[in-house]
Amino acid sequence: MDHSELDISAIVPVGARRDDLRALLDEYATSLAVAGASFEIIVVLDGPLGGLSDQLGELLPDRHWLRVIELARDFGEAAALTAGFDAARGRKVLTLPAYYQVDPAELPKIIAAGETTDMAVAVRWPRKGSGFETLRRNAFHGFLSVITGQRYRDLGCGVRFMKREVVEEIPLYSERHRFYPALARSRGFEVSEVELAQSPKVDFKGRYRLREYLHRVLDIMTLFFLVRFTKKPLRFFGTVGFVVGALGVLFLAVLIVQRLFFGVGLADRPALLLSSLMVVLGVQIFALGLIGELIIFTHARELKEYAVRRVIGSEAAESDSRHT
């Protein structure tokens, strides 16, 4: 089917956490119908999940809008979303969680907002939760804002509505789906936030383990490089290498002055070993950035630093496409 034949492809990745999918999918479908758009809902099962595909298969005869994709094993939510994107036939893509986050009746709001932007992301408001959850959420978004320079209020919400060009240009892997809006904005897409009422059926009482907090911090640091230094690695590694190496040289100079003019011996001085290691480490870090620059230069013809929103006064304007 040609992409223009459907308005919206809604992707629902399903993993270990899920609510009653029969009821949830019907609510999603009802809300999308109210929005007045032609749509399909693609449920992507991240692995067999105890025969859930057979249960969903029983719903297919009465729900022409439903499609089910079952992955061979659990590859993760990013892979499940990618599989859904590849199978999507709509002009625009809507991602939805397999459990209650926002009130499904609110979906027409984000669809309407998505008509004037490249990506609209939902913000659950008013947000329910404990004081600790609020503190944790604010700390996460504050840290992300400092690292990337982008401000968001609810990146944990999986309700996002975007143009097909977004999913075609930004590959997902690992846990990068959590930062999809930040990646889209870094590529020149316009991203806006839309307040949607939180579902009254939210009953998640889970707690995150320390390892998961560490993973989020590492993911944010990875995002920092992807957003700011993907095409100029020497700026980061060169700066760090220069600072470390310069400190090492300074310490060595102090030790040499002490030896030549004050008679202080160099033997059995840990400072000598430390300063020497700093010089070597600084050179290595700088060299790492230089190698990255050489790789970028080698593939420069394959990379584009710009994004075209539209072309006016040409047949190409009809496509209203982007190139990166």
Give the three-class secondary structure for 5. Answer: helix
| pLDDT confidence of residue 92 | 96
Determine what percent of the chain is predicted with pLDDT higher than 90: 54
| pLDDT confidence of residue 304 | 57
Q: Where are the beta strands (DSSP E) in the chain?
A: 6-14, 39-45, 66-70, 90-95, 119-124, 160-163, 191-196
CA 43 vs. chain centroid, Å, equals: 20
Sorting pLDDT into bands at 50, 70 and 90, what band is 322?
very low
Q: Report the DSSP pairing between strands 39-45 and 66-70.
A: parallel
Contacts of 105 (CB under 8 A, 6+ apart): 27, 31, 34
Length of the chain: 324
Q: Assess whether pLDDT exceeds 80 at residue 44.
A: yes
What residues form DSSP beta bridges with 41?
A: 10, 66
Sorting pLDDT into bands at 50, 70 and 90, what band is 85?
very high
In the sheet with 39-45, reading across from the earlier edge strand, the strands are: 66-70, 39-45, 6-14, 90-95, 160-163, 119-124, 191-196
Tell me the average pLDDT across 137-160.
91
